[in-house]
Amino acid sequence: MKLRTAALASLVVVVTACAQTEKATPTTRAEVIPVMVTREDVQSVAPALDRYTQTQLLGELWNRPDLSPRDRSLVTVAALIARNHLIELPYYLTLALENGVKPSELSEVLTHLAFYSGRGNAMAAVPLVKAVFSQRKIGTDQLAPASPVLLPLNEATEAQRAARVGRQFGTVAPGLVQYTTDVLFRDLWLRPALAPRDRSLVTISALIAAGQTAQLTPHLNLAMDNGLTQGQAAEVITHLAFYAGWPNAFSALPVAKDVFEKRPR
Amino acid sequence: MKLRTAALASLVVVVTACAQTEKATPTTRAEVIPVMVTREDVQSVAPALDRYTQTQLLGELWNRPDLSPRDRSLVTVAALIARNHLIELPYYLTLALENGVKPSELSEVLTHLAFYSGRGNAMAAVPLVKAVFSQRKIGTDQLAPASPVLLPLNEATEAQRAARVGRQFGTVAPGLVQYTTDVLFRDLWLRPALAPRDRSLVTISALIAAGQTAQLTPHLNLAMDNGLTQGQAAEVITHLAFYAGWPNAFSALPVAKDVFEKRPR
Amino acid sequence: MKLRTAALASLVVVVTACAQTEKATPTTRAEVIPVMVTREDVQSVAPALDRYTQTQLLGELWNRPDLSPRDRSLVTVAALIARNHLIELPYYLTLALENGVKPSELSEVLTHLAFYSGRGNAMAAVPLVKAVFSQRKIGTDQLAPASPVLLPLNEATEAQRAARVGRQFGTVAPGLVQYTTDVLFRDLWLRPALAPRDRSLVTISALIAAGQTAQLTPHLNLAMDNGLTQGQAAEVITHLAFYAGWPNAFSALPVAKDVFEKRPR
């Protein structure tokens, strides 16, 4: 992994004006300015954590062959946003761009996770993404438009999915079932600026990172239908052990095992 | 939904004095002043997310007929606090007041969620609730006292609940079982400033938003015993898909289906 | 519990210089300075929450006999870090030191939770731990080195564990299985600055607090193998009801019941 510095750069939202509550106007704005959680900070409170970071995490994990640095960047950014872990997010957003993730792809990841990890997680990340984009002079001309020409829909597959969900939950929450069709599978998933395979990679990363294994089976199957290999899927789980914790990774393992075993060879 | 502005107002905790660590005194105080995550911020990094916000979320979801704007405000505030999603909380606290939620009810929501989503979530929300109350000149005279006259207890129902929990876990964690009776069901739930039906609405919203479906069955039944209709419950889940993410909503669906099917008609 | 003040001291990360985004240099640093969420703040928005804090939480819970204040401090700090609940963390870090938890133990807790609750939670806590250590003049000479002499390994037990995990998941994610052996059980768990029993206490606290009951059975058994009594384990769950919410505590109860019943007497 290319690392421009050993320090982990981060950002903090801070308000420029120290106005009193009473005097603050609706136009008072927060500025996002770069700060650091330096390697020295970590060393000063947890020398072992620094050692694990330098050796196993940065030295080994990111260089393992089964998942590219670009994919690892998507996995990491998705996990951080899905867990509302903002302190290292700017660093990993920047690293993602350096690893070949396009600004338009990061933008789609943010929108995608508003639906798959909750709006609040996406909104909390907006100022940090904005700061990174601003720092690198990335304008909206590099992002996908709000309403692009969509990818062609596989009508047969989507009809099967809609029928299955409709049978399960059509009478329980018809509104949610309809939104799932209209907003997610006939709109969000067809936005062309993030390939379906990458959209799946982000989705399963967010699910595993948030411990939402109940929804993992269909999405891991969809990810593999979309081109994710078994070796890559296993490496996603391995990678997320470090970023989302061993328990979340281990909770994903029996689901992955079951999916791997049941898929046609 | 009445929206005074398209912008999503938020607040940031900031320290007024830029003191050095060494000089900071225990009396240094944080001020909470209003800042904005504006529509423009979202547009600058994720034009599609802005479109979904304007159309499906604000344009449609909040206007769906099966759940009132007031109820949607309780659901949203509960979800944001339960997920520690602070950036939009001041906006939705303000919207809740405009939608008819009383200050005393918001105060009870905060206290209720200290128990049902963890003390840390409630404490993190305290400065933001305080700022909104302060901005609207809401004093403690508008809040319920710490020890009010409690609602009458349905002794038979409570005896059944206590017996059931006692049989299950009385020998495992007798202290917790006793606190559940004394602090929650013979105290918190009987506080009159939030109707039992609304307390249930907040509880199931927090459970669904945090993915805690294991505890959803008894609380969804209690919610419906307390007057929540099936249509409203379904719409709560639909609403939460947008705020807490699709996976949490879909994990709630089989539980809701099972509860709906087993209830006497 | 010794409480130097009724107020809950906290810290906020804030940037000293109010620089514009454009001018900010990579050396701009965040300072952590003490602020307060005072008892008055809580009273101003939720008088009942203050009453519960003073009576049941601080007045009763911390004084219950089955778990020492020192152990309760480890449980609380683990829960706060595992849930990314930073606002009260400095208070409870300070209280932990006053209750007899050594700086070297807190340092190990932080490193341990990087693996058991996700790196992001640990990294977010780094500036707060650093501030508390700095305030109390705790230098790295009081912390365990990055690579100490490790505790002796129980080779037979570890071989059993490794074989069991290998059978389950060795073909699913061999990399993760190998890291579990090399980084966790032949390294992290053998670091001498935190006793295995305390390491287990922190692990099960983090699991319960984060609702990760799927991984609780083996770790609760390990905790009891490491010396945690059944009465202490029950009290951990009771304590966490207040800090991580009733639903997480109740989700842990059936797991604990099952573990308690199946252990040899």
Q: Residue B65: closest CA among chain A residues belongs to which residue?
A: A175
Least confident of B64-73, C16-25, C180-189: C16-25
**Cβ pair A111:B52 closer than 8 A:** yes
| DSSP class of C7 | S
A124 touches chain B (CB under 8 A): yes
Please write the tens of the pLDDT for every residue from A99-130: 999 999 999 999 999 999 999 999 999 988 99
List B residues 149-208 in contact with A (Cβ-Cβ < 8 A).
none
> How many CB atoms lie under 10 A from the CB of residue A251?
20
Q: How far apart, in whole angstroms, are the C-alpha atoms of residue B204 and residue B229?
A: 13
User: Does the pLDDT of residue A192 top 50, yes or no?
Assistant: yes
C258 touches chain B (CB under 8 A): no
B99, pLDDT greater than 80:
yes
Partner-chain contact B50 A146, CB within 8 Å: yes
Q: Beta strand pairing status for B8-15 and A30-37?
A: unpaired
The pLDDT-based confidence of C4 (bands split at 50, 70, 90) is very low
Task: Please list, in sequence order, all residues whose beta carbon lies within 8 angstroms of the beta carbon of residue C3, skipping any fewer than 6 positions away.
Answer: C58, C95
How confident is the prediction for chain A on average, in pLDDT? Answer: 88
Tell me, what's the pLDDT at C116? 98
Measured in angstroms, the CA of A50 and the nearest CA of chain B are apart by 24
Inform me whether the pLDDT recorded for A12 exceeds 70: no
Confidence of residue C36 (pLDDT cuts 50, 70, 90): low
Confidence of residue A37 (pLDDT cuts 50, 70, 90): confident
**For residue A27, pLDDT beyond 80:** no
| Chain B interface includes A136 (CB < 8 A) | no
Q: What is the ipTM score, two decimals? A: 0.90
DSSP 8-state assignment for residue B181:
I
Local confidence band at C144 (pLDDT 50, 70, 90 cut-offs): very high
How many other C-beta atoms can be found within 10 angstroms of the C-beta atom of residue A196? 18
CB A180 within 8 A of CB B246: yes
What are the backbone dihedrals phi and psi of residue C80, each rounded to the nearest 5 degrees, phi first?
A: -65, -45
**C131 is written with which tokens?**
């501030």
What are the pLDDT digits (tens) for C98-135?
A: 999 999 999 999 999 999 999 999 999 998 899 899 99
A17-31, A47-61, A98-112, C167-181: least confidently modelled range: A17-31
Chain B nearest CA to C251, separation (Å): 7
Phi/psi at B35 (5° precision) = -130, 180
Q: For the residues of A93-156, what is the DSSP string, one character each?
A: HHHHHHTT--HHHHHHHHHHHHHHS-HHHHHHHHHHHHHHHHHTT--GGGS--SSPPPPPP-HH
Average pLDDT for residues C13-32, to the nearest whole number?
A: 32
Global confidence as pTM: 0.91
The stretch A218-245 carries a mean pLDDT of 98
Axis-axis angle for helices C103-116, A246-262 (nearest 10):
20
- Pair C15, B14: CB distance under 8 Å: no
Question: d(Cα C79, Cα C73) in Å, to the nearest integer?
Answer: 10
Q: How many percent of chain B have pLDDT more than 70?
A: 86
pLDDT value, residue B38: 83
Mean pLDDT in chain B?
88
Closest-CA residue of chain C to B182: C56
Q: What digits encode the pLDDT tens for the residues A43-83? A: 999 999 999 999 999 999 999 999 999 999 999 999 999 99
- Residue found by looking up tokens 């037990």 in the block: C157
| Test the C interface: residue of A81, A246, A255, A260 with most C CBs within 10 Å | A246
Lowest mean pLDDT among A154-158, A230-234, B13-17, B252-256: B13-17
Q: Which residue has tokens 């919410």?
A: C245
pLDDT at A127: 87
In chain A the domains, ranked by start, together with CATH numbers, are 8-15+29-143+168-262 (1.20.1290.10)
More confident residue, C146 or B264: C146
Question: Chain B residues with CB inside 8 Å of A21's CB?
Answer: 31-34, 131, 134-135
* Amino acid letter, C38: T
- From the list A78, A92, A107, the residue with the least C-alpha distance to A209 is A78
Q: Is B167 exposed, middle or buried (0-12, 13-18, 19+ CB in 10 A)?
A: exposed
Tell whether the model's pLDDT for residue B26 goes beyond 80: no
Per DSSP (E only), the strands in chain C are 8-15, 30-37
Task: Give the pLDDT band (50/70/90) at residue C85.
Answer: very high
Q: Which residue carries 């791997």 as its tokens?
A: A260
Coil/strand/helix, residue B20? coil
User: Of the given ranges (B27-41, B206-220, C12-26), which has the lowest mean pLDDT?
Assistant: C12-26
Contacts of B180 (CB under 8 A, 6+ apart): B165, C241, C246
DSSP B153: P
- Residues 6 or more apart in contact with residue C29 via CB below 8 angstroms: A35, A36, C15, C16
A241: burial class by Cβ within 10 Å (0-12, 13-18, 19+)? buried
Q: How far apart are CA B221 and CA B219, in angstroms?
A: 5
Give pLDDT tens digits for B165-224: 999 999 999 999 999 999 999 999 999 999 999 999 999 999 999 999 999 999 999 999
* Contact flag C120-A50 (C-beta cutoff 8 Å): no
B238/A180 CB distance under 8 A: no
The residue among B199 and C37 whose pLDDT is bigger is B199
Residue A85 pLDDT > 70, yes or no?
yes
pLDDT for residue B264: 86
Q: What are phi and psi of B263, to 5 degrees?
A: -75, 145
Confidence label for A11 from pLDDT (cuts 50, 70 and 90): very low
Find chain A residues with C-beta within 8 A of C24's C-beta. Answer: 33-34
Q: Inter-chain contact C45–B13, Cβ cutoff 8 Å?
A: no
Q: Give the number of residues written for chain A.
A: 265
**Chain C residues lying within 8 Å of B85, measured CB to CB:** none
Structure tokens at A202: 């982000």
What amino acid occupies position A53? T
**Interface residue A114 vs chain C (CB under 8 A):** no
- pLDDT tops 70 at residue C12: no
- Residue C265's pLDDT band, with cuts at 50, 70 and 90, is confident
B128 touches chain A (CB under 8 A): no
Name the token pair of A20: 């009193």
pLDDT at B18: 27
Query: What tokens does B75 get?
Result: 């659901």
Whole-number pLDDT of residue B27? 29
Number of other CB atoms surrounding residue A177 within 10 Å = 21
The C-alpha atoms of residue A119 and residue A130 are separated, in whole angstroms, by 16
Residue A35 φ/ψ, nearest 5 degrees:
-130, 180
Comparing A215 with B20, which gets the higher pLDDT? A215
